[in-house]
C-alpha cells in the first residue's frame, strides 16, 4: 500500500508539473516583451547613417495571443527606442483568426502611432499575402509596402542606403531571382555610377529563402516567420519549426557576404504557446566604425 501511494504521489507530482508548464506557456510565456539589441558595423554604411537606429518587429498573428492592448504596449516600446527606421517582416494576420472592422481599425490606429523619422516599411508574410486588408492598413498607417521592390533612404546628406523587400513565397511563387531583379539592377547601377558601394538591406519573411538570394548584393538581411520554434528547451534544438524556417531559425547567421538576423516574433501561430521564448523586437544600431 505504501509503495502504491508513493507511486501515485509521484504520478500526481509529474502531472502537476505538466499542468504548470502548460499554464505558464499559455498565459505567461506568450506575454512580456524583450528587446534584442545588435550593433551592425560595415564600412559601406555612409557617415550620415552612423548611429542610425533601425527597429524590426515581426509575426504579430493578431488575435492569437496579441490583442489591441498588447499591440499598444508593443508600439509604446518601439517608440521609446526612438528609431529612425522601422521595419515589419510579415504576418500581421493569422489564417485561423477572422477579424472584424473594429480589429482592423485598432491595428491601423496602432501602426499609425509608430514613429520613425526616416520611414516605416513592411513586407507581407505568408498569412498576409491573400488578406485584402493588409495593403489598406499599411497605406493608412504610412507604411511603405516593399514587396519585391526597393526604396532609397536618406539621412541628412545625399548618400543613401537602399532597403529592398522580398515577398512571401506563398503570396508570389515567382522565382526569387525574378522578384529581386529590379532591386539588384538598381544596386548594380548605383555601384557602377558612384565611387562608394551602396549599403543594402533586404527584408524577407521566410528565412530559408536566403539560399535562393544572391547574397553578394545585400549586406544585412532581416527575416521573421520562425517564431524561434515557440518552445525553447535547454540543449534541445528549437521545436515546432515552421515550414520555411527549418534550416535558418536562430537569432543570427554570418553568411560571409551577408549577415542574417531572424526575429523570434511577437505572437503565436497555430500552436499558441511559448516557453523560454519571450516575444521580442530587434534594435539595430548602424555604424561604419
Q: What is the pLDDT of residues 25-35, one digit of tens each?
A: 566 667 889 99
**For residue 156, what pLDDT is reported?**
84
Q: Rounded CA gap, 91 and 277, in Å?
A: 18
Pairing state between β 280-287 and 53-57:
antiparallel
**Structural domains in the chain, sorted by start:** 31-287 (3.60.21.10)
Query: Predicted confidence band at 108 (pLDDT cuts at 50, 70, 90)?
Result: very high
Q: Helices 101-112 and 68-80: crossing angle, nearest 10°?
A: 10
pLDDT in tens, 217-271: 999 999 999 888 766 666 666 666 788 889 998 999 999 989 999 999 998 887 7
Pairing state between β 34-41 and 252-254:
unpaired
pLDDT in tens, 139-180: 999 999 999 999 999 998 789 999 999 999 887 778 999 999
pTM equals 0.92
Q: Rounded CA gap, 275 and 41, in Å?
A: 32
Amino acid at each position: 500500500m505504501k509503495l502504491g501511494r508513493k507511486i501515485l504521489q509521484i504520478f500526481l507530482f509529474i502531472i502537476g508539473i505538466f499542468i504548470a508548464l502548460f499554464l505558464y506557456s499559455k498565459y505567461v510565456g506568450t506575454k512580456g516583451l524583450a528587446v534584442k539589441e545588435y550593433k551592425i558595423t560595415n564600412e559601406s554604411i555612409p557617415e550620415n547613417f552612423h548611429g542610425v537606429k533601425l527597429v524590426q518587429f515581426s509575426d504579430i498573428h493578431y488575435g492569437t495571443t496579441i490583442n489591441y492592448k498588447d499591440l499598444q504596449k508593443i508600439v509604446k516600446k518601439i517608440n521609446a527606442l526612438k528609431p529612425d527606421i522601422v521595419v515589419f517582416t510579415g504576418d500581421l494576420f493569422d489564417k485561423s483568426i477572422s477579424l472584424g472592422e473594429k480589429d482592423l481599425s485598432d491595428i491601423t490606429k496602432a501602426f499609425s502611432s509608430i514613429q520613425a523619422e526616416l520611414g516605416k516599411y513592411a513586407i507581407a508574410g505568408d498569412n498576409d499575402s491573400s488578406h485584402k486588408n493588409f495593403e489598406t492598413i499599411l497605406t493608412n498607417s504610412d507604411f511603405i509596402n516593399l514587396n519585391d521592390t526597393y526604396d532609397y533612404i536618406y539621412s541628412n546628406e545625399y548618400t543613401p542606403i537602399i532597403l529592398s523587400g522580398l515577398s512571401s513565397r506563398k503570396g508570389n511563387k515567382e522565382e526569387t531571382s525574378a522578384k529581386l531583379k529590379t532591386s539588384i539592377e538598381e544596386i548594380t547601377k548605383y555601384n557602377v555610377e558612384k565611387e562608394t558601394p551602396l549599403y543594402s538591406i533586404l527584408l524577407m519573411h521566410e528565412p530559408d529563402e536566403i539560399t535562393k538570394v544572391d547574397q553578394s548584393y545585400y549586406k544585412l538581411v532581416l527575416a521573421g516567420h520562425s517564431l524561434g520554434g515557440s518552445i525553447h528547451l535547454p540543449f534541445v534544438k528549437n521545436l515546432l519549426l515552421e515550414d520555411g524556417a527549418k534550416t535558418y531559425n536562430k537569432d543570427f547567421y554570418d553568411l560571409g557576404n551577408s549577415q542574417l538576423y531572424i526575429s523570434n516574433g511577437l505572437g503565436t501561430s497555430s500552436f499558441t504557446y511559448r516557453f523560454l521564448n519571450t516575444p521580442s523586437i530587434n534594435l539595430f544600431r548602424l555604424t561604419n566604425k
